[in-house]
């Protein structure tokens, strides 16, 4: 009897020894699948995904890529988007936002609320808003809306703006280079043309609804920063885009694939210029309000990352995000890389070209099945085309938006 029991125990031991690695492998595979299917990871706040979102789309800050993420989520989940009314492509920009700039909002009668707002607008904070009236965005968005935005180092943001808006902004048009502009900015910059020259000085400050020509007085700057902090629950940093997406995903309680993206509206390297060290210091002084804004929210961003994730978890999550991006690039993209405008074969995927910038787009791989093709198309669809697409879905009874450069 004792020998029989000992033999049974030995057989159990060897069985467990053989099965344990297989069980661990199976658990690992299930763990990966569950993470792909659910938004939550260990330690995150539980709850349903957040679907009421206002994203202040600042200029030349990787915000077009964030816009694509939000558009995709809205389309996948049949959410309503606050889109520009009529034939417009912006929500009243560069004027301060008013609710009537949104399609479907009636000036008289009950207000219609939307799930997502993310098109270009100039935010209307109370100090420059309509006095005691409610914040204009609040007339369009539900009370439980999560507000967030993104900022970029003003040195690089200004360089991008100079290339992109060179032919449109009076302040940039006659300047031979950005270094030359910054050496004597008041030679080119006319303060009375502030709306036309919004991109030329403190552009992110302007997008928030503030005066880009205000003196950099400590009490004024601190008060405005406090207003932004009070309204926006999260401000991301473009230079740390992947870390920003990890934190955003956590706050929104979304799946990994919801925040995986390809760069949208990016420039080719040949149209990226580098300011001299002296020019960089001049850019900080010229855009001193943007510099203060960026410094402040760069600190708050990293404070949030440390508090909510920690270094080890952050590295792990960023690695997972990048790995998934590589997988989708291999699945979706021809050669896995962006293309310039002459190389893009599908005219519907041609990005809008502006100024002296060479805006890149994508070609999709041939032979994709229908479901995969739709997913890949969403990920590479340029901003204007996607907005027009959503407009047609939401307002089929209204004339479709016409994109001028695609008419031919």
What integer best gives the mean pLDDT of the chain? 87
Would 159 be classed as within a structural domain? Answer: yes
Both tokens of residue 297? 């929210």
Which domain CATH number covers 214?
3.40.50
- Taking residue 234's Cβ as centre, other Cβ atoms within 10 Å add up to 20
Share of the chain above pLDDT 90, in %: 71
Answer yes or no: is 4 within a domain: no
Provide the domain limits for residue 224: 47-395
Q: Residue 94 domain-assigned?
A: yes
Per-residue pLDDT tens digits for 282-300 = 999 999 999 999 999 999 9
> Count of CB atoms within 10 A of residue 230's CB?
11
Average pLDDT over residues 210-233: 96
Considering the domain boundaries, does residue 10 fall inside one?
Answer: no
How many angstroms separate the Cα of 347 from the Cα of each of 343, 358, 379, 384? 10, 16, 16, 13
Residue 31 has pLDDT above 70, yes or no: no
Q: How far apart are CA 182 and CA 285, in angstroms?
A: 9
Reply yes or no on whether the pLDDT at 84 is more than 60: yes
In this structure, is residue 217 part of a structural domain? yes
Establish if 33 belongs to a structural domain. Answer: no
2 in any annotated domain: no
Instruction: Give me the pLDDT at residue 348, please.
Output: 86
Asked if pLDDT for residue 316 goes beyond 60, the answer is yes
Count of the separate structural domains present in the chain: 1
SS3 361: strand
Looking at residue 7, what is its pLDDT?
A: 52
- Among 3-12, 24-33, 185-194, 222-231, the range scoring the smallest mean pLDDT is 24-33
| For range 5-33, the mean pLDDT | 45
Considering the entire predicted model, what is its pTM?
0.87
Residue 131 lies in a domain: yes
Query: How many contiguous H segments (helices) and E segments (strands) does the chain have?
Result: 15, 4
For the segment 74-103, the average pLDDT, to the nearest whole number, is 96
Q: What is the pLDDT of residue 109?
A: 60
């Amino acid at each position: 009897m004792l020998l029989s029991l000992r033999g049974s125990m030995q057989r159990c031991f060897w069985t467990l020894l053989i099965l344990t690695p297989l069980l661990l492998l199976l658990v690992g595979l299930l763990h990966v699948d569950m993470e792909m299917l659910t938004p939550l990871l260990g330690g995150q706040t539980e709850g349903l995904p957040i679907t009421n979102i206002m994203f202040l789309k600042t200029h030349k800050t990787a915000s077009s890529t964030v816009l694509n993420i939000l558009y995709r989520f809205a389309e996948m989940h049949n959410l309503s988007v606050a889109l520009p009314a009529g034939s417009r492509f912006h929500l009243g920009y560069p004027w301060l936002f008013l609710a009537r700039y949104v399609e479907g909002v009636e000036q008289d009668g009950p207000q219609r609320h939307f799930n997502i707002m993310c098109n270009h607008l100039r935010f209307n904070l109370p100090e420059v808003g309509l006095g005691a009236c409610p914040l204009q965005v609040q007339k369009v968005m539900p009370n439980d809306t999560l507000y967030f935005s993104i900022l970029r180092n003003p040195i690089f943001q200004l360089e991008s703006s100079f290339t992109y808006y060179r032919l449109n902004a009076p302040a940039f048009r006659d300047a031979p280079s950005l270094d030359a502009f910054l050496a004597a900015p008041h030679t080119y910059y006319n303060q009375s043309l502030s709306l036309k020259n919004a991109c030329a000085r403190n552009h992110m400050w302007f997008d928030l609804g503030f005066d880009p020509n205000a003196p950099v007085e400590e009490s004024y700057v601190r008060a405005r920063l406090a207003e932004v902090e009070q309204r926006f629950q999260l401000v991301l940093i473009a230079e740390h885009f992947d870390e920003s997406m990890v934190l955003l995903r956590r706050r929104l309680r979304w799946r990994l694939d919801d925040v995986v993206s390809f760069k949208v509206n990016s420039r080719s390297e040949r149209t990226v210029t580098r300011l001299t060290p002296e020019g960089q210091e001049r850019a900080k002084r010229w855009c001193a309000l943007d510099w203060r804004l960026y410094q402040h929210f760069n600190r708050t961003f990293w404070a949030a990352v440390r508090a909510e994730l920690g270094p080890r978890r952050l590295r792990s999550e960023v690695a997972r995000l990048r790995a998934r991006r590589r997988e989708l690039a291999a699945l979706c993209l021809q050669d896995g890389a962006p293309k310039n405008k002459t190389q893009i074969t599908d005219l519907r995927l041609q990005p809008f070209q502006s100024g002296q910038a060479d805006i890149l787009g994508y070609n999709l791989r041939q032979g994709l099945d229908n479901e995969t093709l739709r997913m890949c198309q969403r990920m590479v669809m340029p901003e204007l085309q996607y907005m027009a697409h959503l407009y047609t879905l939401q307002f089929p009874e209204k004339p479709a938006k016409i994109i001028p450069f695609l008419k031919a």
